[in-house]
């Protein structure tokens, strides 16, 4: 099988986009693993199939408002609900290929179908911003008062530390560390151990405060490993930091900067209880892949 692909990244969280405008490509988990293999394949954190929502029964109910479906799979081949960096790369590809109406680099907005519901993407200068939709602290006010609702053990830290579970359409567990030395000392080669174990796994973000509305983050992504960036993870990190600080009486702002190994993302709490993620999206290569 020959596939037309494009390689792209958002703050170095990288993806292989597979063009499937006729809805004829049915990638297996093994094929996704081969594509994303950094030694025997193209190498990526995940694969995004570019396909119309109407042609995928799983999301066909979104087709009335969103023509295109971001069919995202992590490097392990497992379908994921959402990817904040991936959706911006996906839209950048649609723009380049002239596959969208109502959105251009001069402005506008585009609805994209995902497994976590329809997301709206807009141009923000030379970057793209996506409304990730509603979010919640899984354990509610009690989890905030308790300092967390999970314990996280990871190589590089003694014992376990508190973590806070958030739902942004996909699962996250955020750990606040006291300083950048502890953040740098982490070994994220293996997945952190989270107790209680989330039923569908979780992305784990390790965060340090750098100032008001400013954090630095490293992340271990579910089904991938440590990545250079995670878009929904950056939003989770900012939301958790803001919630914890406000519980302590800090009065943190709604606009946040999140520094990740691959660059910087911006997170904004929007009216109505949604959160927006903004950052770059780069397309770096095109080609044909034989599987």
| 140 and 267 housed in the same domain | yes
Q: What does the pLDDT read at residue 248?
A: 53
Task: Cite the active site residues.
Answer: 83, 230
80 is in which domain, residue-wise?
2-134+279-290
| 267 and 283 housed in the same domain | no
| 8 and 105 housed in the same domain | yes
Q: What does the pLDDT read at residue 252?
A: 73
Q: What does the pLDDT read at residue 250?
A: 58
DSSP code of residue 184? H
| 284 and 262 housed in the same domain | no
Asked if residues 130 and 120 have their Cβ atoms less than 8 Å apart, the reply is: yes
pTM: 0.95
| 123 and 166 housed in the same domain | no
**Prior bond to 196 cis, omega within 30?**
yes
| 123 and 147 housed in the same domain | no
CATH of residue 255: 3.10.310.10
Asked if residues 19 and 47 have their Cβ atoms less than 8 Å apart, the reply is: no
| 161 and 117 housed in the same domain | no
Report the number of distinct structural domains present in the chain. 2
| 14 and 126 housed in the same domain | yes
Q: What does the pLDDT read at residue 247?
A: 62
Q: What does the pLDDT read at residue 253?
A: 87
Asked if residues 277 and 84 have their Cβ atoms less than 8 Å apart, the reply is: yes
Joined tokens for residue 91: 């839209």
| 116 and 22 housed in the same domain | yes
Q: What does the pLDDT read at residue 127?
A: 97
Report how far residue 127's alpha carbon sits from residue 101's, in angstroms, rounded to the nearest whole number.
Answer: 18
| 260 and 141 housed in the same domain | yes
Q: What does the pLDDT read at residue 245?
A: 83
CB-based burial label for 40 (10 Å; 0-12, 13-18, 19+): exposed
pLDDT per residue rounded down to tens, the chain (291 residues): 899 999 999 999 999 999 999 999 999 999 999 999 999 999 999 999 999 999 999 999 999 999 999 999 999 999 999 999 999 999 999 999 999 988 999 999 999 999 999 999 999 999 999 999 999 999 999 999 999 999 999 999 999 999 999 999 999 999 999 999 999 999 999 999 999 999 999 999 999 999 999 999 999 999 999 999 999 999 999 999 999 887 655 567 899 999 999 999 999 998 888 999 999 999 999 999 998
| 218 and 97 housed in the same domain | no
């Amino acid at each position: 099988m020959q596939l037309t692909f494009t390689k792209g990244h958002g703050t170095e969280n990288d993806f292989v986009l597979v063009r499937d405008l006729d809805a004829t490509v049915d990638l297996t988990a093994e094929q996704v693993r081969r594509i994303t293999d950094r030694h025997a394949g193209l190498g990526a954190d995940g694969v995004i199939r570019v396909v119309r929502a109407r042609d995928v029964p799983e999301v066909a109910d979104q087709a009335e408002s969103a023509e295109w479906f971001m069919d995202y799979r992590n490097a392990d081949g497992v379908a994921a609900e959402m990817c904040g960096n991936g959706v911006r790369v996906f839209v950048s590809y649609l723009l380049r290929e002239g596959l969208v109406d109502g959105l251009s680099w001069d402005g506008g907005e585009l609805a994209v179908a995902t497994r976590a519901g329809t997301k709206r993407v807009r141009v923000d200068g030379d970057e793209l911003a996506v409304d990730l939709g509603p979010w919640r602290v899984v354990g509610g006010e009690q989890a905030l008062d308790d300092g967390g609702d999970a314990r996280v053990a990871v190589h590089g830290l003694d014992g376990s530390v508190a973590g806070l579970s958030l739902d942004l359409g996909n699962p996250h567990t955020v750990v606040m560390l006291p300083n950048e030395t502890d953040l740098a000392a982490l070994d994220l080669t293996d997945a952190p151990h989270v107790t209680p174990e989330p039923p569908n796994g979780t992305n784990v973000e390790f965060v340090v405060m750098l100032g008001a509305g400013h954090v630095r983050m490293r992340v271990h992504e579910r089904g991938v490993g440590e990545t250079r960036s995670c878009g929904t993870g950056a939003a989770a990190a900012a939301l958790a930091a803001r919630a914890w600080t406000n519980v302590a009486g800090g009065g943190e702002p709604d606009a946040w900067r999140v520094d990740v190994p691959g660059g910087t993302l911006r997170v904004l709490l929007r009216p109505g209880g949604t959160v927006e993620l903004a950052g770059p999206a780069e397309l770096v290569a095109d080609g044909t892949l034989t599987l």
